[in-house]
Structure 1
Amino acid sequence: MLGTLLDRPIIHKTFEPKYKILIDMCSKELDTVKVLYDQQLASMKSPTGPIVNKNMPKVSGSLRWSQQLHDRIELTMGKLQTLSCISRDSPDTKDVFSKYDEMMNYISSFEADVFTRWASDIETIAKTNLEKPLLVWETKDGKEVLKVNFDPE
C-alpha cells in the first residue's frame, strides 16, 4: 500500500526528505539487535547459561530466542525492501543492507552452532536419563512423597 501512495507526486515529495530518517532508524534497529546478539553470546559462555524465556530449556529457548531476533529484523527490513523509491546505491542504504546481511549470517550460524552442540551431546544425555527411574521418593516436610524424576534438559 505504501508503494502505491509514494507513486503520487505530492506524497512522494513530502516523503522524500524522510528517507534518510527511515534509513537511520533501520540502522539503529540493526545496531540494537547486534547488541542483543552479543549479550546472548556472552551469556552462553557464562555459568548461568543463555537468556531464555521462562520455562524453556536451554537449547529450545536459545533457538526460539534467535528466531525472535530474526523475526524482529526481518519485519523491519522487509518493509524497507518493499519501498521501490529508495535508492539502493546510496552509501547509507548499502550500509544498512550490509548490516542486515551480516546479522542474518550471525543468526544462522548461531542456530547451526546451538543445534550442532545439542546433536553431538543428545545421545549420551538421552542414554543417561533413560536409565534413571521415572519416579523417585523424596522427603518433603518430613513426609515421603513420590516425585516425577524430570530432567530440565
Structure 2
Amino acid sequence: MIRYALEKDAQELVKLRLDEQKSLHPDAPADPEKVEAIEKWISQSIGNVNTLILVSENEGKIDATCTFVVEHNIPGLVDNGNYAYMCNVYTVPEKRKQGIMADMISQGEVELRARNVCAVYFDSVSDPMISLSQKLGYVHRTSFYSKDLIG
C-alpha cells in the first residue's frame, strides 16, 4: 500500500535513509550529528505542505520511500515557477524490480499536478533509478553547475 508518511514512520524512514546513503557511499561513517540531522529533517518534513514523503508499506513494514520537495520559484515565461525535487528514492533490496517505485513516483506526480507543480527534477548516480526514470518519461535535459559551500 502506498501512502503518505506519518509521524510514526519517522524512525523507520531514518533507517531507510541511512541504508540508501550507505549503498551510495559505503565508506562514509554514520556520524551521530549527521544521523541527528537526518532525524530532524524527516520529523520536520512529515506533514509539511511543501514536502511530499510517500512510503510503500507491506505487512506493517515500510519497504520503499520517495520524497518530493516542492519549490516555489519566480515564474518564467514558459512555466509557473513551481517545481519538485525528487529525492530519497529507495527500495529495500528484496522488494526491488516489483514496480513499487514506479507506482510511487506516478502517484507522487498525480499529487504534484494537483498542487500546480509544473515539473519534477532529480539528480542520481544510480543506474537503476536513471533507467526507471527514463521509462517513466523523464529526460536528461541539461547540465547544471554546483559549488560545495560546506566542507
Provide the TM-score with structure 1 as the length reference: 0.24
Q: Which of structures 1 and 2 has the larger relative contact order (alpha carbons within 8 angstroms, sep 6+)?
A: 1
**Larger C-alpha radius of gyration, 1 or 2?**
1
Normalized per residue, which structure has more helix?
Answer: 1
Provide the TM-score with structure 2 as the length reference: 0.25
